Amino acid sequence: MRYVKFSVERTAPQYEVSKKNFEEQTKKLSPWQLKDEYTNEERYYAICPKCDNPVRLIGLYKATNRQPFASHTGKTIKGGLPILPPHNQKRYEYCPLSKKSKRIDPDEHLYAPEKIHIELYNIMRENFDKLVYFIENMLEIECSTNFWREALTMYVNSKGWLFRWISLENMPWAFCYMAMCQKKLYGQKIKIGGYLHKAIEGKCEQDAFSKNTGKYVRITNQGSTYLPSITLRFIGYDYSIDSDGYLVEIMRVCLDYANEEILSKQMTLDQQQFRNLLRYEMRYNIEKWKRLREVGHEMMPPLSVDGID
């Protein structure tokens, strides 16, 4: 893996594995730097950003023919506790950055939450406005509070937050995948010239769109007697590690018009975008984002991680 963190906090920043980052973040203090109990050699440690297991940094001080990287230790590091977390085998096996996890079907779902799922649920509860902002940008749409309330109801009722591969980075995708399949776009605004608009434009009667309001048009059937349904679908979530050791997550967004697929577009997740968004204040449409935060609070009772591993 190419990114690590130095705290088990879910929203702790991630750093690319490098000598400079390691020294700045750890000052080379114990337990980030420890002598190996058998060989007496110096070892360098950090924490996996996805599964919170200890990882060893390789190639920081010895010249190798590849960039420094990190690898799960697969065991608890003697002398590492409590700053370095203990190794957790179950989380390791399901970590997208561990080689083992590739044998598991990406569509497999959990039945009982683990600590990470509850932490992410609580983060989403506090940041539902940011999640919506991310998805609206990604799809080039603007939807009503009610549209999002319905999707969130679906997400909570179907326990979509137990999506096996959920992480801080892909949380908006997990939401689309688990709560927005077959979601009707009727009554919502889509960006003129956006990819959804282009796909719909040629298919619908002109009166399917209301008069445009700035950059957007609303899907409606003003003057028309019947408008077939226009629905979103999200399929084919998958992940892999590329040849440079970076995590690559993909998913397809599809658009159906009268049950016929008119768009199927593969997307690749930007691994930093949602994490960065969490740090920003929403500066415009303040009322809209405030309403969405309230919806998040209302629909998602806070959950406790007490007693959950």
- The binding site for Zn ion (CB under 5 A) comprises 48, 50-51, 95, 97
Between 95 and 178, name the residue whose CB sits nearer to Zn ion: 95
Between 218 and 275, name the residue whose CB sits nearer to Zn ion: 275
Residues whose CB falls within 8 Å of the CB of residue 233, separated by 6 or more in sequence, listed in order: 181, 182, 253, 254, 255, 256
> In whole angstroms, how close is the CB of 302 to Zn ion at the nearest point?
26
> In whole angstroms, how close is the CB of 223 to Zn ion at the nearest point?
55
Between 48 and 292, name the residue whose CB sits nearer to Zn ion: 48
What amino acid is encoded at 201 in this protein? E
Q: 10 Å Cβ neighbour count for 127?
A: 20
> In whole angstroms, how close is the CB of 185 to Zn ion at the nearest point?
37
CA distance readout (Å), 147 to 4, 108, 187: 37, 27, 9
Q: Which of 76, 27, 28 is nearest to 54 (CA)?
A: 76
140 in Cβ contact with 309 (< 8 Å): no
77-108: buried (b, 16+ CB within 10 Å) or exposed (e) per residue? beebeebbbebbeebbebbbbbeebeeeebee
* Phi and psi torsions of 183, nearest 5°: -85, 125
What amino acid is encoded at 254 in this protein? C
Between 116 and 179, name the residue whose CB sits nearer to Zn ion: 116
> In whole angstroms, how close is the CB of 137 to Zn ion at the nearest point?
28
Between 54 and 172, name the residue whose CB sits nearer to Zn ion: 54
> In whole angstroms, how close is the CB of 51 to Zn ion at the nearest point?
3
In the block, residue with structure tokens 């683990």: 114
Between 116 and 200, name the residue whose CB sits nearer to Zn ion: 116
> In whole angstroms, how close is the CB of 75 to Zn ion at the nearest point?
14
